[in-house]
Amino acid sequence: MFLEQSTPELRQGDVIDGVVFPLWTLTNYHVSGPPTERPQRVVMDLLKPGEPIRFVVCSHDCEIENARQRMGLLVAPITGWPARSDAADEELRASMRRDSDENWHYIHLFPMAFPDGWAVADFSGIMAMGRPVKVEPWLLERKQFELTEESRTLFREKLAAFVGRPPDE
């Protein structure tokens, strides 16, 4: 799944480690209006405290290469393996590819086999980090794994299916 030696560049599917991933838990917010009106109440809990986790780069390679013209790089959290039965575990592992009917299972999850066990990239948690020109060097310092070309292709195909399903699905 991963290259034995990572390259010194940032690419789609690269795994970054050791960063607290922000989770938005909006409970209330203010909506600003005209200066003569009082804004409506806002209470926001923007960052949940937590342990550093791994996340995966979702932006296309060309988005990274054209960093000066982009607002942010897309990343998704890598979460623990969902507790399941043996049959469900096998189905989830196999879900990185389409089934024999060309359907995707667990469309929001991409299974990843790490040296310390299986985990999933959760596409439903995708968010943008800062401007690529500033974020790329920071991410490269924390790059832990790089997908093989075969795994990157599978990652790209499932990510594309998640964010851009054909209208008939």
Residues composing the chain: 169
User: CA–CA separation, 53 vs 55, rounded Å?
Assistant: 7
Q: Residue 42's pLDDT is what?
A: 47
User: CA–CA separation, 95 vs 129, rounded Å?
Assistant: 27
- Cβ atoms of 11 and 57 within 8 Å: the answer is yes
- Cβ atoms of 140 and 15 within 8 Å: the answer is no
- Cβ atoms of 54 and 75 within 8 Å: the answer is no
pTM as predicted: 0.81
Half-sphere exposure of 83 (CA within 13 A, CB side): 0
Of 67-71, 121-125, 126-130, the least confident: 67-71
Q: Is it the case that residue 98 has pLDDT exceeding 80?
A: yes
Residues with Cβ within 8 Å of residue 148, at least 6 apart in sequence: 1, 2, 3
Residues 138-154, mean pLDDT to the nearest whole number:
95
User: CA–CA separation, 114 vs 96, rounded Å?
Assistant: 15
Question: pLDDT band for position 2 (50/70/90)?
Answer: very high
- 147: helix, strand or coil: strand
Percentage of residues in the chain with pLDDT exceeding 90?
53
The mean pLDDT of the chain is 83
Residues 133-154, mean pLDDT to the nearest whole number:
93
**Tens digit of each residue's pLDDT (9 = 90 or more) over 47-94:** 445 678 899 999 987 777 776 777 888 999 999 998 778 988 999 999
Question: pLDDT band for position 3 (50/70/90)?
Answer: very high
Q: Is it the case that residue 129 has pLDDT exceeding 90?
A: no
Residues 106-128, mean pLDDT to the nearest whole number:
94
Q: Residue 51's pLDDT is what?
A: 75
